């Protein structure tokens, strides 16, 4: 990636650099490498934030859909306790559906 390319470019520059200029060149290259690493970290952080926002939006959409469908216990909330409760309710509904489909198979 970006760091690899930079590393190779730095190596080449060091090979054609005069020995007495090497410390200066290395210091400049070090700063450049740190800037690239900082940029990579920043992009990663922004990506993480974007993913979190998208997930939050999905939760809100799901809460809204279930509330409109009249499923009790579902409404838009960001409260962690209420979210845990809603997740447990979803899990319960899922288990009940599995049981139902198994008993349907048994009588089929």
pLDDT value at position 30?
96
Count CA atoms closer than 13 A to 57's CA, side-chain side. Answer: 6
pLDDT in tens, 23-73: 999 999 999 999 999 999 999 999 999 999 999 999 999 999 999 999 989
Reference 3, options 27, 25, 30, 21; nearest CA is 30
Is the predicted pLDDT of residue 108 greater than 80, yes or no?
A: no
Query: Full-prediction pTM beyond 0.85?
Result: no
pLDDT value at position 17?
82
Position 97 in a domain:
no
When divided into structural domains, the chain yields a total of 1
Show the CA angle centred on residue 35, arms to residues 34 and 39, nearest 5°: 115
Mean pLDDT of the chain: 92
Position 101 in a domain:
no
Determine the structural domain holding residue 32 and report its residue range. Answer: 2-76
Q: What SS3 class is residue 75?
A: coil
Q: Is the dihedral of CA 96, 98, 102, 104 positive or negative?
A: positive
Position 83 in a domain:
no
């Amino acid at each position: 990636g970006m760091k690899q390319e930079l590393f190779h470019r730095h190596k080449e520059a060091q090979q054609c650099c005069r020995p007495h200029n090497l410390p200066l060149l290395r210091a400049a290259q070090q700063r450049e490498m740190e800037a690239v690493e900082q940029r990579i970290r920043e992009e990663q952080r922004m990506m993480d934030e974007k993913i979190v926002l998208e997930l939050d939006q999905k939760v809100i959409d799901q809460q809204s859909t279930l509330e409109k469908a009249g499923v009790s216990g579902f409404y838009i909330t960001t409260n962690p306790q209420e979210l845990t409760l809603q997740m447990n309710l979803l899990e319960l509904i899922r288990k009940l559906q599995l049981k139902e489909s198994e008993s349907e198979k048994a009588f089929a």
